Amino acid sequence: MSTPDLSKLNQNDVQGAALAILALNLTHPEVDDEYGELAGQALEEHCPLLGAYWEDLTPEQVVMANAMMDEVLEMADRMEAEFPPMN
């Protein structure tokens, strides 16, 4: 989390964030500290709203951030389901 650049809070790339999470899921099958750090960086890079301190957001922005996070994770899951199993 970081102090948001308020001019960028509306510049969110949900599909880019989902692709980044998909790539992370494929390359880091175990969720560990490194995964968490990389996921946070990817989400913040693609969706500045998700990198903001929630205390700095309006109630409407918090609702939007929650919905955005759900959408990113659901989209990443759908994309991952389309990949053939890796042996």
pLDDT at 85: 72
Q: Say yes or no to pLDDT of 3 above 60.
A: no
pLDDT at 35: 94
Mean pLDDT of 63-86: 91
Higher pLDDT, 19 or 6: 19
Confidence band, pLDDT 50/70/90 cuts, at residue 40: very high
pLDDT at 11: 73
Residues comprising the chain, all counted: 87
Other C-beta atoms lying within 10 Å of the C-beta of residue 36:
11
Mean pLDDT of 24-46: 92
Q: Please identify which residue in the block is written with the tokens 């809070």.
A: 9
Q: How far apart are CA 7 and CA 10, in angstroms?
A: 7
